[in-house]
Structure 1
Amino acid sequence: MTRDVQITFDCADPAALSTFWAAALGYRLQPPPKGFDSWEAALESFGVPREQWNSRSAIVPVEGERPRIFFQRVPENKAAKNRLHIDVRAAPGLEGEERMSALEAEADRLQALGATRAYRVEPDPAQLEVGFITMRDPEGNEFCLD
């Protein structure tokens, strides 16, 4: 039996982080429930206190079968390196300098959205390494451009 997968981020600002990841991955913010023009209208109707309106957010694929990504506010800050991270496949099928150029272009795009660069690993066939760039999202979560 197969299972659906949802990826969840603990974060300080669900609205901002979901907006970043939607732009990074080509997703969209999850639409509000039927009968509501906005999440604000839905949350107000449900009686959710305004201070809780940014406690959660979610993004969904624009098309195709990819996982929903959920963002939930937590009180603690990020404290250490992620044990699990996302690889953004920005250069599938490309090799060498063509691959690294594609990754650099994506790194520039994501930096303009608020990501920061951590480091670049060069291709090294002797080490079975094809090359990648490690980045951090606006809250410091590591991810790789692969």
Structure 2
Amino acid sequence: MARDVQVTFDCADPAALAAFWAEALGAAVQAPPPGYASWDEALEAFGVPPERRNDASAVVDPDGRAPRLFFQRVPEGKQVKNRVHLDVRAAPGLSGEERMAALEAEAERLVALGARRLERHEPSPPLDAGHVVMADPEGNEFCLD
């Protein structure tokens, strides 16, 4: 792909949702600008009032391979099913029961972090290897694939 891509989530609590996705993906919440020990310190220096300091957050891949995930606060809640969603590749190279067991283990880990399990789709060869549909803490659907 010729251009960088950022995936943006509208949400109510950017810091909390960024923390969830950082843990879920083995990524990191984006560090504050150089010279600042924390985002709160940086935002204070930039003149951002306290009530606006959770307007946005981001998650980055420490290796720089995956797109940046950006979380922005919006006033309205989620209304309908996502038209675009993330597939978290939790069982690459696995098949059958071994694959489904790996997906179930990852689903349990993510539920402990605040996700909800929505449904399991059994493998149906030749094209579908099976997957688990989940929702993040704010209800955004994603698949464990």
Task: For residue 64 of structure 1, report the CA deviation from its aligned partner.
Answer: 3.9
Q: What is the CA deviation profile of residues 103-133 of structure 1, one whole-angstrom value per residue up to 9, with x for unaligned ones?
A: 000000000000000000001116x221000
- Hey, what's the Cα distance between the residues in 1 that align with 2:133 and 2:62? 25
Aligned twin of 2:82: 82
TM-score by length of 2: 0.97
Note if 1:28 corresponds to 2:19: no
- 1:102 match: secondary structure: helix
- 1:125 match: secondary structure: coil
| Gapped regions of structure 1 (runs ≥ 5) | none
- 2:77 match: secondary structure: coil
TM-score by length of 1: 0.97
- Hey, what's the Cα distance between the residues in 1 that align with 2:37 and 2:129? 46
- Hey, what's the Cα distance between the residues in 2 that align with 1:62 and 1:123? 33
Aligned twin of 1:68: 68
- Hey, what's the Cα distance between the residues in 2 that align with 1:131 and 1:29? 30
- Hey, what's the Cα distance between the residues in 1 that align with 2:53 and 2:2? 33
Aligned residue-pair number: 145
Aligned twin of 1:110: 110
Note if 1:133 corresponds to 2:132: yes
- Hey, what's the Cα distance between the residues in 2 that align with 1:137 and 1:113? 9
- Hey, what's the Cα distance between the residues in 2 that align with 1:37 and 1:21? 22
Aligned twin of 1:17: 17
* Percent of residue pairs bearing the same amino acid type: 67
- Hey, what's the Cα distance between the residues in 2 that align with 1:63 and 1:107? 24
- Hey, what's the Cα distance between the residues in 2 that align with 1:69 and 1:39? 17
Q: What is the CA deviation profile of residues 63-96 of structure 1, one whole-angstrom value per residue up to 9, with x for unaligned ones?
A: 2411111000000000000000000000011000
Task: Please report the RMSD computed on the Cα atoms of aligned residues, expressed in angstroms.
Answer: 1.0
| Gapped regions of structure 2 (runs ≥ 5) | none
Aligned twin of 1:145: 144
- Hey, what's the Cα distance between the residues in 2 that align with 1:46 and 1:36? 11
Q: What is the CA deviation profile of residues 28-59 of structure 1, one whole-angstrom value per residue up to 9, with x for unaligned ones?
A: 01000011111000000000010000000001
